[in-house]
Amino acid sequence: MPNNTPNPRFTFIDLFAGIGGFHLALHRNNCTCVFASEWDKFARITYEHNFKKLSPLLFEHGNYQGDITHIQANNIPDFDILCAGFPCQAFSIAGKQQGFKDSRGTMFFEIARIIKEKQPKAFFLENVKHFLKHNDGKTFECIKNILTNELGYSFHWKIIKACEFGLPQLRPRLYMVGFKNPTIRFEFPKPVPLKQSMSDIWGGKCSRDIGYTILASGRGKQPEQQRNWSAYYVNGEVRQLTSKQAKKMMGFPNSFSFPVSETQAMKQLGNSVAVNVVEAIAKNVLSALN
């Protein structure tokens, strides 16, 4: 996972970091991660395993932290861009959609707290598409109001599918971008053709060109079953998705590895961001900042 130039243009922090989808995408755009936070012990193992050589100073300086609620904002190094795929379970259609009634839904306020204290040049957030309509749109409007009226940032949003940026997976997600200078012009990137199909992923003839959205749970069903997302017909036979195929569908390189169980690896991939989409949006964020 090499960097293109030795001199990064911008710095960023990686909140609710998971296994580092944001980290990888912004690193590909020549940015440096100066702080990261992830509380799940298994995700932390995978993150450190893959990024310790890529971003050694992050770990050497003690800036890879756990529970965000225990982090003092003034202890975070200065940075340009705040990245966060904050917990989606509270807003997901797969969950109970409790929103701010669920403790995971209140994690957005930790983001707002850090933005208020650190005043970064930009923020870049991701969540499930149902976040947009949760509680008749009131949840989304609450967050938009905090970011714009209370914190003074611009606000741009769009629902984008992973398959619109070369990955053979549906995975529609809500992406939100804002700038401290609200006069900065920003546009989300235009879709690109599919780079590989599910047949390429499997190395055999798959019944679908674009795969289902990878989830964090509910594996092992048959192709005809409701809510199946992990079973496919390949060369006429039923095959169950493994982390080997799933990481390609998410945009992680072959070199990315999982020092955890297969169950944990699939859970982590299901909770991750689609790297190609984040990379494309990040490129436009950086262009806007320049």
Please check whether residue 269 is in contact with residue 47, taking contact to mean a CB–CB distance below 8 angstroms: no
Please check whether residue 58 is in contact with residue 35, taking contact to mean a CB–CB distance below 8 angstroms: yes
Q: How far apart are CA 87 and CA 98, in angstroms?
A: 12
Angle at 279 between CA 275 and CA 282, to 5 degrees: 135
Q: How far apart are CA 275 and CA 272, in angstroms?
A: 8
Residue 243: how many CA atoms within 13 Å on its side-chain side? Answer: 21
Q: Report the Cα 280 to chain-centroid distance in Å.
A: 12
Active site residue 142: no
Catalytic position from the list 31, 33, 83, 88: 88
Per 3-state DSSP, the chain is made up of helix, strand and coil in percentages (nearest 5) of 40, 15, 45
What beta strand segments (E) does 70-155 contain?
81-84, 122-128
Residues belonging to the active site: 88
